[in-house]
């Protein structure tokens, strides 16, 4: 068995109130995705006696990149990220369709440009895993800070085409709040109640609800279900006019969620 057949562990390191810094690790080394804060990462690496081998960044927001510089002060490692000067620490800038090999782990990731939350947001997809930052959340999606509903729709549609079993590692623990909204935007979806009780049980034990997977998201995430009659009806009811195309449905439920 070659090294690339071995799926390493992926561990969430918590940061701030609800960020996850996903840490790909084996017994010696670790790579981190979106280290918004260096402190919890350095504590984890020290406690587990791990050496940092790479940093991956999905987008430029401080809660995802704020720890880059301090980590680089401790470990001279490559930083993989988008073409965006707002992340000055990136050493290997990646565009849509490009592949990168994660050092030490020899895992191949494909880069997907998924604008919507920010204009230069990327995801890393490989080994059955998707690191999607703040674009796709369990039962939700990121706010449209720099992108249009059309861009977010296209990005989410692209992610929804990945295999159902793809594990989805999101940047935040927003699942319960997202489900509460999803039940309003997709009121006839029985899968949401089941997901809610599972997620609630995990949160009651202070465990992450993530990773999700693409199959679960297609079944429960209203932002991936903008062509579903139930979501169209709820979005139209909230907007006060008949919405017919999925992009206007996404725009309407994103607006709705902003004030929910
Ligand atoms: Zn963000
Ligand atoms: Fe974030």
pLDDT tens digits, residue range 140-176?
999 999 999 999 999 999 999 999 999 999 999 999 9
What is the distance between the alpha carbons of residues 29 and 18, in angstroms, rounded to a whole number? 25
The verdict on whether 172 is a catalytic residue reads yes
What is the distance between the alpha carbons of residues 244 and 210, in angstroms, rounded to a whole number? 32
pLDDT tens digits, residue range 72-106?
999 999 999 999 999 999 999 999 999 999 999 99
Q: Maximum distance among all alpha carbons in the chain?
A: 58
CA angle 166/170/171 to nearest 5° reads 160
Please pick, among 60, 61, 121, 153, the residue that the annotation labels catalytic: 61
33 CA from centroid of ligand 1 (Å):
13
Strands 136-137 and 140-141, bridge-based pairing: antiparallel
3 has a pLDDT exceeding 60: no
Please pick, among 34, 63, 213, 228, the residue that the annotation labels catalytic: 63
The verdict on whether 63 is a catalytic residue reads yes
pTM > 0.95: yes or no: yes
CB atoms within 10 A of CB 28: 11
The verdict on whether 64 is a catalytic residue reads yes
134 CA from centroid of ligand 2 (Å):
5
The verdict on whether 83 is a catalytic residue reads no
pLDDT tens digits, residue range 188-238?
999 999 999 999 999 999 999 999 999 999 999 999 999 999 999 999 999
229 CA from centroid of ligand 2 (Å):
31
Q: Which 3 state secondary structure label does DSSP give 45?
A: helix
238 CA from centroid of ligand 2 (Å):
27
| Residue owning tokens 């440009």 | 113
Please pick, among 60, 104, 117, 153, the residue that the annotation labels catalytic: 117
pLDDT tens digits, residue range 9-51?
999 999 999 999 999 999 999 999 999 999 999 999 999 999 9
The verdict on whether 61 is a catalytic residue reads yes
21 CA from centroid of ligand 1 (Å):
13
> Which ligand has the minimum distance to the alpha carbon of residue 60?
1
Tokens of 24: 């790909």
170 CA from centroid of ligand 1 (Å):
11
204 CA from centroid of ligand 1 (Å):
26
Please pick, among 60, 153, 172, 228, the residue that the annotation labels catalytic: 172
């Amino acid at each position: 068995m070659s090294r690339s057949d071995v799926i390493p562990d992926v561990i969430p390191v918590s940061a701030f109130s609800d960020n996850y810094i996903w840490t790909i690790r084996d017994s010696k080394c670790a790579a981190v995705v979106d280290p918004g804060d260096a402190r919890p990462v350095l504590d984890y690496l020290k406690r587990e006696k791990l050496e940092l081998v790479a940093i991956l960044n999905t987008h430029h927001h401080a809660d995802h990149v704020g720890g880059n510089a301090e980590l680089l002060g401790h470990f001279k490692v490559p930083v993989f990220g988008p073409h965006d000067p707002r992340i000055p620490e990136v050493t290997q800038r990646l565009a849509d369709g490009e592949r990168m090999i994660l050092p030490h782990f020899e895992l191949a990731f494909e880069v997907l440009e998924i604008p919507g939350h920010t204009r230069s947001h990327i995801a890393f997809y490989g080994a059955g895993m998707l690191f999607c930052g703040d674009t796709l959340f369990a039962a939700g999606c990121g706010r449209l800070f720099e992108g249009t509903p059309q861009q977010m729709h296209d990005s989410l549609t692209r992610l929804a085409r990945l295999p159902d079993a793809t594990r989805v590692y999101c940047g935040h623990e927003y699942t319960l709040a997202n489900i509460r909204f999803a039940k309003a935007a997709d009121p006839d979806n029985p899968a949401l109640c089941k997901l809610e009780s599972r997620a609630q049980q995990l949160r009651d034990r202070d465990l992450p609800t993530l990773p999700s997977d693409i199959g679960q998201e297609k079944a429960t995430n209203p932002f991936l279900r903008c062509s579903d009659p139930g979501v169209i009806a709820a979005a139209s009811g909230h907007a006060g006019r008949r919405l017919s195309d999925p992009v206007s449905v996404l725009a309407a439920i994103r607006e709705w969620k902003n004030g929910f």
